[in-house]
Amino acid sequence: MTVSLFDQFMSPTYLGIPLLALALTLPWILFPSPSARWLNNRLLTLQGWVINRFTQQILTPLSLGGHKWALILTSLMIFLITLNILGLLPYTFTPTTQLSLNLGLAVPLWLATVLIGLRNQPTAALGHLLPEGTPTPLIPVLIIIETISLFIRPLALGVRLTANLTAGHLLMQLTSTAAFVLLSMMPTVAILTTILLFLLTLLEVAVAMIQAYVFVLLLSLYLQENV
Mean local confidence (pLDDT), 81-88? 88
Higher pLDDT, 168 or 24: 168
Mean of per-residue pLDDT scores for the chain? 84
* Stretch among 38-42, 53-57, 179-183 having the lowest mean pLDDT: 38-42
Report yes or no: 113 and 223 within 8 Å, Cβ to Cβ: yes
* Stretch among 36-45, 62-71, 96-105, 159-168 having the lowest mean pLDDT: 36-45
pLDDT for position 8: 65
Mean local confidence (pLDDT), 101-122? 90
Q: Where are the domains of the chain?
A: 8-226
pLDDT at 151 over 80: yes
Mean local confidence (pLDDT), 127-133? 77
pLDDT for position 159: 92
pLDDT for position 1: 44
Closest CA to 110 of 139, 159, 150: 150
pLDDT at 184 over 90: no
DSSP, collapsed to helix, strand or coil, labels residue 93 as coil
pLDDT for position 5: 66
Mean local confidence (pLDDT), 121-146? 80
pLDDT at 61 over 50: yes
What proportion of the chain, given as a percentage, has pLDDT over 70? Answer: 95
pLDDT at 223 over 50: yes
CA-to-CA distance for 169 and 85, rounded, in angstroms?
Answer: 11
CA-to-CA distance for 216 and 227, rounded, in angstroms?
Answer: 16
pLDDT at 4 over 70: no
Closest CA to 119 of 222, 223, 226: 226
pLDDT band at 47 (very low <50, low <70, confident <90, very high): confident
pLDDT at 200 over 50: yes
Q: pTM, whole model, 2 decimals?
A: 0.83
- Using CB atoms within 10 A of its CB, is residue 109 exposed (0-12), middle (13-18) or buried (19+)? buried
Closest CA to 53 of 218, 227, 213: 213
